[in-house]
Amino acid sequence: MRRLGILTGGGDCPGINAVIRAVTKSALYRYNIEMIGFNNGFKGLVENEAWLIGEAAASGILHRGGTILGTTNRDNPFSFRVTGAAGELSYEDRSADALRHIDEWNLDGLIVVGGDGSLTLAHRFTEMGLPVIGIPKTIDNDLGATEVTFGFDTAAATATEALDRLHTTAESHHRIMVLEVMGRNAGWIALQAGMAGGADIVLIPELPFNYEQIIAKVLQRRSRGKRFSIVVAAEGSFPEGLAPVYRSSGGGRKKLGGIGEIVSAELERRTGLESRATVLGHLQRGGSPTPFDRVLATRFGVAAVELAAAGRWNEMVCLQSGTIRGAPLTEAIAEIKRIDPGNEQLRAAAAVGISFGCQLPVPRQIGSR
């Protein structure tokens, strides 16, 4: 019987379990391939913490958030964190251990479910001869080659629900409400949720904003009798001439965060209107996947096994024009997918009055050539 490995790396997102289920079931049913799961991303591969994912473990998890394999966004096999006897930290290259464990488990190849960090590591392993298939996973939707990653739809749905809730309280109190959402250096969650949740102002990292434009929008609304305003701020958004805001977090790693509070305070100071900020945080990563994400994750999982069975290694499954395909892993990780100023969705949002806190270049209409 043939065997494949699977690991889930980086920040979790809703739909990973649906992928594990689809990979395991389709591998078994269609190709008689066994799946070996490595716990906690590349850490499990380095430390050989692995198990056979049978049919039972893959059952009943379609709707469950998180990942039954566990994950980490810290452990890089090429610079692996080692804690010494006295608690001191050092880093060593453990990639050879990882490859040895692939051999010991007799695996034909490895399926890596990850975002750009995990898929970049996966790519480094392909250069050492390890056959890999990638599956794009991130709420941020910032991976190249695919139109959408699984997890994004659920995160955007959670952010939309938050906006619906903020709307009613904003209206009652005649306040400005600022919702900070995740997304790293891409504004996909902010744009999607802002549009779906009827936000008045959406701030995204791709378009540095200025406060005058935001205030103009708030005041314009007031002149039309709307005494509240809803602002969505992507965590990576920032004012013109400044840089994204970071908050420190455990392990000394830099983490984006804090712009929502800054924008809220600045708007209150400059307009004299009451303003409140909410940081949605990891609520966007937890919980059950939406039907869209369950189905996309299932299609990705099935396609990943198909690619492996066909020997099409070093590709990532992706969604292009509604169809699941394989694309070179290198294409997926070449650069982060961000919102282009000419993006049609961005234009549609602007056309219904959403302000991006800046002057957009002259719109190109769909009918024009």
Q: Of these, 138, 192, 298, 355, which contacts ligand F6P (CB under 6 A)? A: 138
325: helix, strand or coil: strand
160 touches ligand F6P (CB under 6 A): no
- Alpha-carbon distance values, 223 to 30, 174, 220, 226, 350 (Å): 63, 13, 5, 7, 19
* Minimum separation from the CB atom of position 247 to ligand F6P (A): 10
**Window of 124-132, 136-144, 211-219, 307-315 that interacts with ligand F6P by CB under 6 A:** 136-144
Q: What is the DSSP letter of 137?
A: B
* Minimum separation from the CB atom of position 186 to ligand F6P (A): 9
Q: Of these, 182, 202, 204, 329, which contacts ligand F6P (CB under 6 A)? A: 182
* Minimum separation from the CB atom of position 271 to ligand F6P (A): 29
170: helix, strand or coil: helix
Which positions from 243 to 282 touch ligand F6P by CB under 6 A, shown as an x/- string? ------------xx--------------------------
Task: For residues 125 and 80, give the distance between their C-alpha atoms in angstroms, rounded to a whole number.
Answer: 14
Sign of CA dihedral 59, 62, 64, 66: positive
Please, which residues bridge with residue 137 across strands? 150
Specify the pairing of strand 246-248 against strand 201-203: unpaired
Q: How far is CA 162 from the centre of its chain?
A: 18
Which positions are annotated as active-site residues? 140
328-357: contacts with ligand F6P (CB under 6 A): none
Rank residues 140 and 153 by Cβ distance to ligand F6P and give the closer one.
Answer: 140
Compute φ and ψ for 260, nearest 5 degrees: -60, -45
Q: Of these, 20, 53, 107, 140, which contacts ligand F6P (CB under 6 A)? A: 140
* Minimum separation from the CB atom of position 183 to ligand F6P (A): 5
Residues found near ligand F6P in the complex (CB under 6 A) = 11, 73, 115, 138-140, 182-184, 235, 255-256, 285
